[in-house]
Each structure stands twice: as C-alpha cells, then as structure tokens.
Amino acid sequence: MVTLSISFSDLVTILAACRTARAADCAPDPLRARIVKRLAGPSPRLAAIVRRFDQAQMAALARYALEGIALSEGPPTVVGP
C-alpha cells in the first residue's frame, strides 16, 4: 500500500486543486503539474510536497482524483420526501 504521508486536511486541499480536472487530465505527471501550478500561490508548502511525490505516490493520488471525479459526475440521486 502506498502512503502519501500527509494529513487528511492536506489531502483534501490537494484534491481540491484537482477540482477542474477531467479524467483525461489525471495521468500522474500532468496531474502533478496541474496541482503544483494551482497550489504554488496559495500553498507553496503543499506544492513542494506534491513536487516531491514519487511515481507510486502520484499514481495513488491520481486514483483518488479519478474516484472524486467519478463520485461527483455520477448520476443524480433522488432525494426522498
């Protein structure tokens, strides 16, 4: 199992930087570039952490991002009365 060695709060912030990504944008290297660019201004510490992730960590992060995209783009649910 690959670990990112970051807090849950940092993971949420990093995944939020992926919010405009499409599934096609989630290969590890392009995703790293996107996240680092988006975090460079508001959170240079997190941008530096993502920049240092190895390939296995980036692949895991890409899977998290893809899961988030799938969850958010899934079919609408009907809310009962």
- 30 within a domain of the structure (yes/no): yes
Q: Read off the pLDDT of each residue in 39-67 and give the average, rounded to a whole number.
A: 95
pTM: 0.82
Give residue-wise pLDDT tens across range 3-36.
999 999 999 999 999 888 888 888 999 999 999 9
Rg (CA), the chain: 14
The domain containing residue 44 runs over which residues? Answer: 22-70
CB 34 within 8 A of CB 17: yes
- 10 within a domain of the structure (yes/no): no
Q: How many domains does the chain have?
A: 1
- 4 within a domain of the structure (yes/no): no
- 40 within a domain of the structure (yes/no): yes
Model confidence band, residue 45 (pLDDT cutoffs 50, 70, 90): very high
- 16 within a domain of the structure (yes/no): no
- 76 within a domain of the structure (yes/no): no
